[in-house]
Amino acid sequence: MKLLEIKNLTTEFKTGQGIVKAVRNVNYSLEKGEILGIVGESGSGKSVGMLSLMGLLADNGRIVSGSIIFDGEEISPISEKYKNNKKAYEKRMQEIRGNDIGMIFQDPMTFLNPILKVGTQIEEQILRHTKCSKKEARERAIELMKKVGIPSPEKRIDQYPFQFSGGMRQRIIIAIALSCNPKLIIADEPTTALDVTVQSQILELLQQIAEETGTAIIMITHDLGVVATLCQKINIMYGGQIVEHGTTDEIFYNPKHPYTMGLLRSIGTHTNGERQSLIPIPGTPPDLLKLNSGCAFMPRCSKAMKICKDYMPCRTQFSEDQYCSCWEYCKDSADKIVQEQSAAVNG
């Protein structure tokens, strides 16, 4: 059974300038123990997708359509079960968050409460989700701190966040995320604020955790180096959609979508030997308020055709895992897709 299955998820925000569709028709699934990387530029919807899943959208955001199945249970707020019962949804999500799904955020300083000891903050979550005494919770907290590589945890458990360095704070957050043995950890740019030497330590730690505990990890990042090191599968997001999905090797050595190819070309090869010139992707990321009805990448794409502007390409499967949405690969069935989409608009 799949651990997480997201089908046709669409999330939108009401803003002063109009409705922004931050996530559009996103589908993917995750096996137990798998590490999935979600790569995209700022505004590509990678974080909003995760917030929708956790039920943490801001007040002006809402899930328009789609279903989210976590560990066999439907947890979308618009499902039959929760549609008219917001209280039940909130209650259930509070049980799931922290217990079944752990979260690691980008900025370790804003996540931790500066006036509480780190021990208190780890214990808090354990006490909330499991039946145990305060003493047991403290022991478990020390054990967790040891696990994430904090030296002399017995002493440091009574210190405050400001007494920790950036990397150590991120370790505390990982300890909190791990505290209830979650089935899934969502890491939203966990190493962006850290130095490279610390980053490699944190990545190593995450890998070790995945191997030891069998926890699945969703890694949200814009750094292709990070996904190459850590992830088994990758979603490439652009303009709120998944434009390509595949195993790490497929994405890096055999990319299909023009955006993925452009991304790889624009970082150049860092391998030994010849220096290659960087080939940037021209233009800028799309304005989500002014999207055309077709492919979001069309204005920057070197292979753009007439049809790309008005009609959405369909998904082409290349291997067991890899698929991509680009007109380049579904030209032959163009007439049928155009008919379907026109019918959907008119009807």
Partner 1 sequence: MTENVKENTPIIRVKELEKYFLAKRGYIHMSQYVKAVDGISLDVMEGETVGLVGESGCGKSTLGRTIMKIYEPTGGEIFYRGQNITKLSNKKMHNLRKSMQMIFQDPYASLNPRFTIGDIIEEPMVIHNMYTKAERKEKVYELLELVGLKPDHIRRYPHEFSGGQRQRVGIARTLALNPDFIVCDEPISALDVSIQAQIINLLEKIQDEQGISYLFIAHDLGMVKHISHKIGVMYLGHLVEFGDADEVYNHPLHPYTEALMSAAPIPDPKLARESKRIMLKGEIPSPLDMPTGCPFASRCPRCREECLAGPPIMVNVGDRKVACFDYL
Binding residues (CB under 8 A) for partner 1: these are 41-42, 165, 195-201, 203-204, 222-226, 228-229, 248-249, 252-253, 262-272, 275, 277-282, 284-285
Compute the least distance from the CB of residue 299 to partner 1, in Å.
Answer: 13
Task: Closer to partner 1 by CB, 1 or 278: give it.
Answer: 278
Mapped onto helix, strand or coil, the DSSP state of residue 275 is: coil
Closer to partner 1 by CB, 116 or 289: give it.
289
- Torsion on CA atoms 39, 41, 44, 49, rounded to nearest 10: 40
Q: How far apart are the first and last CA of the chain?
A: 37
Nearer to partner 1, 270 or 306 (CB): 270
Smallest separation, CB 30 to partner 1 (Å): 19
Least CB distance from residue 156 to partner 1, whole Å?
Answer: 12
Instruction: Write a three-state SS string for 298-344.
Output: HHHCCCCCHHHHHCCCCEEECCCCCEEECHHHCCCCHHHHHHHHHHH
Report the C-alpha gap between 290 and 312 in whole angstroms: 15
Q: For residues 302, 305, 309 and 312, what is the CA-based torsion angle, rounded to 10 degrees?
A: -100
| Residue type for position 250 | E
Closest CA relative to residue 67, chosen from 9, 139, 114: 9
Nearest alpha carbon to residue 54 among 187, 143, 176? 187
Least separation in angstroms between CB 174 and partner 1: 16
- 191's tokens: 């190493």
**Residue pair 147/211 in contact by the 8 Å Cβ criterion:** no
Smallest distance, partner 1 to C-beta of residue 94, A:
35
Nearer to partner 1, 214 or 283 (CB): 283
Question: Cβ contacts of residue 59 below 8 Å, gap of 6+?
Answer: none
Give the nearest distance from C-beta 270 to partner 1 in angstroms.
5
- Tell me how far, at minimum, the Cβ of 39 lies from partner 1, in Å: 9
- C-beta closer to partner 1: residue 182 or 286: 286
Please count the other Cβ atoms lying within 10 Å of the Cβ belonging to residue 179: 26
Q: Which is nearer to partner 1, 267 or 345 (CB)?
A: 267
For partner 1, the closer of residues 144 and 224 by Cβ is 224
